[in-house]
Structure 1
Amino acid sequence: MITTPTRQDFDHYMAPNYAPQQVIPVRGEGSRLWDQQGREFIDFAGGIAVNSLGHCHPVLVNAIKEQSEKLWHLSNVFTNEPALKLAEALVKRTFADKVYLCSSGGEANEAALKLARRYAVDHFGEQKDKIISFTQSFHGRTFFTVSVGGQPKYSQGFGPVPGGILHATFNDLESVRQLVGDDTCAIMVEPMQGEGGIVPATQEFLQGLRDLCDENDALLIFDEVQTGVGRSGELYAYKNFGITPDILTSAKSLGGGFPVGAMLTTEAIAKSLAIGTHGSTYGGNALASAVALAAVEFIDTPEVLDGVKKRHELFREHLQAINHKYGVFKEIRGMGMLMGAEMSPEYEGRAKDILPLAIEEGVMALIAGPNVLRMAPSLVIPEADIKEGMARLERAIERLVAQG
């Protein structure tokens, strides 16, 4: 007997580390989704900045279909053509000389941190091991990355955290100067904090980090897992600032929904990731690489990237109009198709209350902490979907205000 899974089956069979919404989407096309009952939703969540081309985009569907009939997985005992093509595409489009492929953003950041420490040991000795990151940052859920991330709630309760990790204040260069020194091997930063509230870095801050790294023989790591692959209006956000990191990590939008991650760096630094120092069983498999290559080639065009900037302005205009009417937001901020609306003092901590109301009105959104409504839709979301989605979001916010 065939049964249809229900939301109650999640509570029955799945580990309780997530609390998904009550609806179960079963089909998607572009920026719209349909649940088990056939109800339609406009997707402003984008799988948490993952679905860069929406749902079932023909370019990605064709890539996965074609590759699925050729080769899926070999392991890293062999290389494969899609992985080599993807690496070449990333190198030619960025500052990097070398690429390491893996399966997620957490893996990419783990590799970046391990490489930074290994590079420091190779060139300066084991005493140069300090990593500086920032409060409210987020870099993944491995034990190393969650410890480097600046939100203790994610590392508490698992025993002693790795040592040699220091946290400064984001956008406060003086707080970094107080921590950096000869023992610093790397500074890790998001060009725009994602989980920390959709907070863009300032030009002066990132330039100051670049200068401090140069002065202290430290590596600058940009975590572009959430801001990368067109999300900011450039292929990678570092291009918006004109500041080049030593190591860059990428995932989420890179696969358009297929699990894939990458670490990019220079030839000189990559030499420290010698044979046997690190690995990823699924990293660089042919199926993921083929999909990611299709996504990168489609996104890295003037039409798509200029469209991201245009859509950003449309989102901002709609959110400002909603706020003018209801006064629920203190600030609207972000870059490209990654935007955050911080709640006003009267609605402090109530961003999360918008999400179920939005679902009932037929639009999917996110939060970045309890006080910031977050949107990370498809980079190519149609303007008609933006307009309709915002109308639905406005109805949800009207209901929030009515609740008092």
Structure 2
Amino acid sequence: MDPISGRTSKMAVDVISEVVELFYCGQGRVNNGERVVHLGGDEVGDAWNTPALEQWTREHGKFHNRTDLVDYWISHTIAEVKKRTGARVILWNDFLDDHTTQADTIDTWQIWRYDTSQTLDMAASGKFGSLIYSSAFYLDLLGDDWATFYDVPLKRDGAGVIKGGEACMWGSHGGLLGDRMNFGKPREVVLALVEVVLNLKSVQASIADAAKRLTTDSDAWLSPELLKAVMANPSLAKGFADPRYQRVLRTMQEDPEKAKHEVAGDTDLAEWLRAFSALMSRHFEKLASESSPVPSLSPAGNTPSGDKNEISEDSEVAELEGRSLYPKNTVELELSNETSQRSASEEPAAVSSNASIGSSTLTVVTGTPRYLQSNPQAQLDPRQLPPQLAQKVMYLVEKGIVKLHA
């Protein structure tokens, strides 16, 4: 839109005023005694860099650049919106990059382009009446960005300029939000950051242990590649965005039998759990195969025995106890019927998740499980495993994903 056009200004004021009236149902004052309207202002880009507008700044402006256009838009159009609606106005901080001289006429600036230190400097400058910080709180970024949610040293300043933090996300990524939130990255707590961000010391103290678990190599299995694999699968992505699937996934970690009953008769949900289990199985196997060689599986102080009853490489099974995605919940693992009924000709994966819906079994199998068919509850000394399998098992043990039975 042409910011210097009277028609543009009138249209913008009329539309925004009508929206505000509809939103507030005609009430002059609501809740805390004020109306608030966010008018955007971000990413104008080159839209205001036209020859006609450049000529206008030379003829009517003070600075002969885009600052003149921003000042004119704020002092005319936005000022009229405030007058007509009686609302406090919020703008993104982009116009500050254009060095507007009208910054003090905007009630609140929302920060997404500046870091914490720059925002604190703005608060201390005395030039701004109200700031909202969002740079660190975007929900839809991959990687370990979530960690910054807990490490933003904002405090309520003496003048109360920084009102808090607000979580944001790109609307085009909305369907992916649930995926990442359900892999143990606690992005959802960001929604309470308006209050939390102003009292961060107590929050940091309470989550220090969890943050350490989520950022160290002990949880290297939770990788961007895994998240991207989920997002690339429409069925999985849909499930993670549906609260029903999220609840069943949590139940599966806490009470497999209960989860089994919950999905009974729900084909879509059952298929989703199978797909999720298969994805995690492949992911763990890939991690194990990429790990460096492990010297020994023997407990400290022990050496491999020469037990004459050692089981050959084509029929070893190591029964494992799995650690839940939710660290406090652990479950006893058992072999699935499907695993115990494999034919001798099959070569099962080195690491596979139990195919039985509702079971959190993680079983390591190589070769033909004849031993299981005759001794289904057997447990093997880990020292009896062949080197290649031992390496994979030890990788999972070291990462805290599984624990060998004592």
* Common topology (TM > 0.5): no
Flag the structure with larger Rg: 2
Q: Higher strand fraction: Structure 1 or Structure 2?
A: 1
TM-score, normalization by structure 1: 0.24
Q: Higher helix fraction: Structure 1 or Structure 2?
A: 2
TM-score, normalization by structure 2: 0.24
